[in-house]
Amino acid sequence: RKRIGMVFQAPNPFPKSIKENISYGPRKHGDLDTGLLARLFGRDDTEEELELVERALRQAALWDEVKDRLDDNALGLSGGQQQRLCIARALAVDPEVILMDEPASALDPIATSKIEDLVDELSEDYTVVIVTHNMQQAARISDQTAVFLTGGELVEYDDTDKIFENPESQRVEDYITGKFG
């Protein structure tokens, strides 16, 4: 069974600690053993959990910003940090595919740039599928582009460079150049 990580348009951290946000999925999947001794003594931050949390936060380019406050409530993070936390949470389940629904649309330009840089890095190890209405963003961060127009019709799919430089469909050309849409 393939695992898919999902990142939504608006950051949606759980009202839990940063650490608990990351370890939630692996716990639910049974991938994280909190250990009998940890449970007996009321502790659940085992070495395995801490390694998982650090790995996911590093992959999401957030570790250096939060490493000293893993027990703080995730809702106290900035919007961009919350979105990277949600990406880290998706990575923690070791997905094969990461689906992102407009992951930067609710963020400022600096946070958007961080998310785009992160997507570029993640695409080396994962299949990343992004939905965006921002054509400039699609041109910057994608290898392949599918253009869906009115009613969800797939109009064209090809390498991103080809779509933006020489699309086959006049409707795609018009959309990219802003003549409609």
pLDDT, position 18: 98
Contact at 8 Å (CB) between 36 and 102? no
Contact at 8 Å (CB) between 16 and 24? yes
Contact at 8 Å (CB) between 7 and 101? yes
Residue ranges in the chain assigned as alpha helix (H)? 18-29, 36-40, 47-59, 63-66, 79-91, 109-122, 135-141, 160-165, 170-176
Determine whether 146 is exposed, middle or buried from the number of CB atoms within 10 Å of its CB (0-12, 13-18, 19+). middle
Three-state DSSP class for residue 145: strand
- What does pLDDT average to over the chain? 90
For the chain, where do the domains classified as CATH 3.40.50.300 start and end?
4-133
pLDDT, position 36: 53
Q: Please tell me the pTM assigned to this model.
A: 0.86
pLDDT confidence of 42, banded at 50, 70, 90? low
Lowest-pLDDT range of 46-50, 97-101, 127-131: 46-50
Q: What is the pLDDT of residues 45-92, one digit of tens each?
A: 578 899 999 999 999 999 999 999 999 999 999 999 999 999 999 999
Instruction: Choose which CATH entry (3.40.50.300, 3.40.50.720, 3.50.50.60, 3.40.640.10) describes domain 4-133.
Output: 3.40.50.300
pLDDT, position 66: 98
